[in-house]
Amino acid sequence: MDVPEIDKEAFREAVINAFCHRDYWAHDSINIAIFKDRVEVRSPGLLFGGLTIARIRREMVSERRNELIAELFHRAHLIERWGRGIRLILSKEPTASFREVGTHFITVFKRKNVGEATPQAISKDLTALEQKIVLLIRKNRYISRADIAGKLHISADTVKEYIRRLRNRNIIRRKGKTSGGYWEVVKRDGN
């Protein structure tokens, strides 16, 4: 089963945001730049309406530069609610970041598994399902059991049982509190 390197919903939202919020007076285009360690969605035009990166992250607010384009995306059901883009991106890709460089607003997604093992190479003593769960945790240490269940198309109870097994065998461990914590894959010989 293929697990995308960057969550599709988060990436889609970054591209939609680029079209809705770009400066159409600028003679430039929206670009997607792929690097070894990151993927960037670059949009001409800085934040609009006095917004700052700190404020959009903290308050999850939006100032629409292009009302008509935003309305078209809304009617096409590509935008559900105004101002939810940053929250959605960060909920799916917690390590995503935002910056303004020159006259561009850039959403940056860190690439995962650059040079990491494939599921088959994680550990020979794990089942295929255990390997997939460990790979998902390696890709996003903040992933929830519900997200694992959704991505693997299995029940939440199945995920709970496999997580319990992996923890008992000291393959993964939980760091921090339940709501704000994260998973850690324990380094083992052969990994």
List pLDDT tens digits, range 129-150.
Answer: 888 899 999 989 888 889 999 9
| pLDDT of the residue at 123 | 56
In the three-class reduction of DSSP (H, G, I as helix; E, B as strand; rest coil), residue 3 is classed as coil
Asked whether residue 30 falls in the same domain as residue 70, the answer is yes
* Domain interval for residue 133: 119-185
What pLDDT, in 10s, does the model give residues 53-74? 888 888 877 777 888 888 888 8
On whether both 57 and 102 belong to a single domain, the answer is: yes
Q: Do 106 and 18 share a structural domain?
A: yes
Flag whether 149 is in a domain. Answer: yes
With residue 1 as reference, give the H or E element that holds it: none
The residue length of the chain stands at 191
Answer left, alpha or beta for residue 26, where phi above 0 means left and psi between -120 and 50 means alpha: beta
- Which residue reads 């794990």 in tokens? 126
Strand partners, 40: 33, 108
Looking at the chain, the whole-number percentage of residues with pLDDT higher than 90 is 32
Q: Count of domains in the chain? A: 2
The pTM score is 0.57
Single out the residue in 70, 88, 110 at which a domain terminates. Answer: 110
Q: Do 20 and 98 form a contact (C-beta atoms < 8 A)?
A: no
Of 94, 190, 77, 109, the C-alpha closest to 143 is 94
What pLDDT score was predicted for residue 104? 94
Last residue of a domain, one of 51, 77, 110: 110
